[in-house]
């Protein structure tokens, strides 16, 4: 064995060591959902048609998840791809019914998002867009009223790169109403389903760079404005698509969560995964680094007592959105990404051990309280 190889191997073992020795990693067949519940958390994953097409994948959800988020099926462009009058309800109906049948809490994602507007929407006048906005919320939230535990009412309100005042993400809804579209969406959603928990879901707040800081600033202002205006904001979602090639300060992000948790009362990690494109090719080393990123993030975030849910964005690597990006050449490597707790053979990876260990650590602590009510 060459010097180089043995050094790489040593580094890999070192990276894996804290997890390999943890009691959680020694019991890889434990289920994540119950472990999370013991820590006052709900654990789940996003899902799309693979849940129905792939029985082995479905088994993973049934074993580990107590919540399901719609990955694409409830998005505007998937519900209404062809025009204002034609609705494609089938896939969303099937997902909501699955959650109901299996006793999983359903998170509706995403009601209003300025990204991916279908062509027909972009061609409407602003007055028509305003009508479609109201009609869309009334129709979609009304259809599933009483069956959706949490709605991501507004997804990703901020993207400073668009250069709009206040750092708002540009798109048809911002153009039609200005930033007040957020409060309007929350109010209409509340009227259509008085019982659903209503959330604003945001990306990139975890990053400790100019983008992350700008979006955190925007979120602080937005939350204060919504609460002052009496808008029905029950929860905030933080996606947690971790990008280890960027700077992070998990303790600072947890401080931000503390601050917002004191105002809003419920915070969820809604789309957790780890982009491994900057990690080495060697699968063992890569998996250990991904797991370490999960561990470091969750160690800080789960100390915040208002954090109530941890949701992965899909469950197994080959169904991750990163797999699609890699296939399309949109990552710096074309190798199959490994961002999730299970591999393409549905086997638990070190990331699984990191999740389990983080849940177990929180359940051993007297604080945070929140032991009850992890069921929505
Ligand atoms: O299913 C079609 C397939 O039939 C077609 O051949 C192929 C050609 O491109 O496209 C497939 O659809 C893609 C779909 O993902 C598959 O699930 C769409 O092009 C693609 O745009 C779509 O991307 C989704 C993206 O949101 C945009 O809606 C991802 O799956 C989904 O995971 C991602 O989720 C977002 C969250 O909503 C918000 N936060 C970030 C997160 C990741 O980007």
Give residue 277 CA to ligand 1 midpoint distance, Å.
19
User: Judging by DSSP bridges, how do beta strands 197-202 and 150-155 pair with one another?
Assistant: parallel
CA of 71 to the centre of ligand 1 (A): 8
Which ligand 1 atom sits closest to the C-alpha of 49?
Answer: 17
Distance 326 CA to ligand 1 centre (A): 13
CB 49 within 8 A of CB 91: yes
The pair of three-digit structure tokens given for residue 21, joined into one six-digit string: 């020795």
What are the CA-CA distances from residue 139 to residues 114, 144, 183, 190 (Å)?
18, 9, 18, 13
Q: Which pLDDT does position 367 carry in this prediction?
A: 56
Alpha helices in 74-203 (DSSP H): 76-79, 90-102, 119-122, 126-143, 172-177, 181-192
Length of the chain: 376
* 169, 156 Cβ separation under 8 angstroms: yes
Tell me which of 239, 314, 324 to substitute to probe ligand 1's pocket, judged by most ligand atoms within 8 Å of the beta carbon. Answer: 324
What is the percentage of the chain residues whose pLDDT exceeds 70?
A: 90
Question: From CA 44, how far away is CA 67, in angstroms rounded?
Answer: 4
Cα(24) to centroid(ligand 1), Å: 33
With a CB cutoff of 8 Å and minimum separation 6, the contacts of 11 are: 285
Nearest to 172 by CA among 78, 87, 77: 77
* Block residue for tokens 């025009």: 83
- The tokens for 139 are 């129709």
Maximal C-alpha separation, the chain: 70
Alpha helix segments (H runs only) across the chain = 3-20, 32-38, 50-53, 55-64, 76-79, 90-102, 119-122, 126-143, 172-177, 181-192, 210-228, 250-264, 283-301, 321-327, 350-364
Ligand 1 binding pocket includes 321 (Cβ within 6 Å): yes
Task: Could you please state the CATH topology (level 3) that the domain comprising 41-275+301-316 is classified under.
Answer: TIM Barrel (3.20.20)
Residue 78 CA, ligand 1 centroid: distance in Å: 10
CA-nearest residue for atom 24, ligand 1, is 72
How far apart CA 289 and CA 28 sit, in angstroms, is 18
Which two structure tokens, joined as six digits, stand for 233?
A: 């904001």
pTM: 0.92
| Under-50 pLDDT residues of the chain | 1-28, 369-375
- Inter-axis angle of helices 126-143 and 181-192, to 10 degrees? 30
Residue found by looking up tokens 């064995």 in the block: 1
Residue 320 CA to ligand 1 centre (angstroms): 10
Q: What is the DSSP string of 42-82?
A: EEEEEE-THHHH-HHHHHHHHHH-SEEEESSTTSHHHHSSS
Q: Phi first, then psi: what are they for 211, rounded to 5°?
A: -65, -50
Is the Cβ atom of 370 under 6 angstroms away from ligand 1?
Answer: no
Q: What is the pLDDT of residue 8?
A: 36
Q: Give the distance (Å) from ligand 1 centre to CA of residue 288.
A: 27
Q: Which ligand 1 atom is nearest residue 155's CA? A: 38
Cα(63)–Cα(76) distance, rounded to whole angstroms?
A: 30
Ligand 1 pocket test, pick from 321, 327, 328 with the greatest ligand atom count within 8 Å of Cβ, gives 321
Q: CB burial class (10 A; 0-12, 13-18, 19+) of residue 373?
A: exposed
pLDDT in tens, 14-72: 333 334 334 444 444 799 999 999 999 999 999 999 999 999 999 999 999 999 999 99
From the CB of 72, is ligand 1 less than 6 Å away?
yes
221 token code pair: 């202002």
Q: Within 13 Å and on the Cβ side, how many CA atoms surround 357?
A: 25
């Amino acid at each position: 064995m060459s010097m180089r190889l043995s050094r790489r191997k040593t580094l890999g073992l070192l990276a894996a060591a804290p997890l390999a020795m943890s009691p959680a990693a020694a019991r890889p067949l434990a289920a994540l959902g119950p472990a999370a519940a013991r820590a006052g958390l709900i654990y789940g994953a996003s899902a799309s048609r693979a849940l129905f097409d792939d029985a082995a994948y479905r088994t993973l959800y049934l074993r580990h998840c107590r919540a399901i988020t719609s990955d694409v099926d409830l998005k505007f462009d998937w519900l209404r791809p062809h025009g204002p009058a034609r609705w494609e309800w089938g896939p969303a109906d099937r997902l909501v019914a699955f959650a109901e049948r299996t006793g999983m809490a359903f998170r509706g994602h995403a009601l209003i998002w300025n990204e991916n507007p279908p062509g027909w929407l972009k061609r409407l006048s602003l007055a028509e867009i305003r009508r479609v906005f109201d009609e869309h919320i009334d129709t979609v939230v009304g259809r599933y009223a009483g069956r959706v535990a949490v709605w991501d009412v507004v997804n990703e309100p901020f993207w400073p790169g668009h250069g709009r005042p206040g750092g708002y993400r540009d798109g048809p809804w911002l153009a039609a109403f200005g930033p007040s579209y957020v409060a309007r969406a929350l109010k209409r959603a509340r009227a259509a389903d008085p019982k659903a928990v209503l959330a604003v879901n945001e990306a990139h707040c975890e990053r400790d760079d100019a983008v992350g800081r700008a979006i955190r600033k925007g979120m602080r202002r937005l939350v204060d404005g919504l609460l002052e205006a009496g808008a029905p904001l029950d929860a905030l979602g933080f996606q947690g698509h971790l990008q280890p090639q960027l700077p992070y300060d998990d303790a600072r992000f947890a401080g931000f969560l503390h601050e917002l948790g004191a105002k809003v009362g419920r915070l969820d990690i809604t789309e957790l995964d780890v982009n491994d494109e900057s990690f080495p090719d060697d699968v063992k080393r890569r998996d250990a680094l991904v797991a370490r990123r999960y561990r470091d993030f969750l160690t800080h975030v789960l100390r915040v007592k208002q954090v109530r849910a941890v949701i992965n964005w899909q469950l197994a690597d080959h169904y991750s959105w990163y797999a699609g990006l890699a296939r399309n050449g949109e990552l710096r490597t074309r190798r199959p990404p490994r961002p999730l707790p299970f591999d393409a053979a549905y086997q638990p990876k070190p990331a699984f051990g990191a999740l389990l260990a983080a849940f177990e650590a929180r359940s051993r602590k007297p604080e945070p309280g929140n032991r009850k009510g992890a069921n929505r």
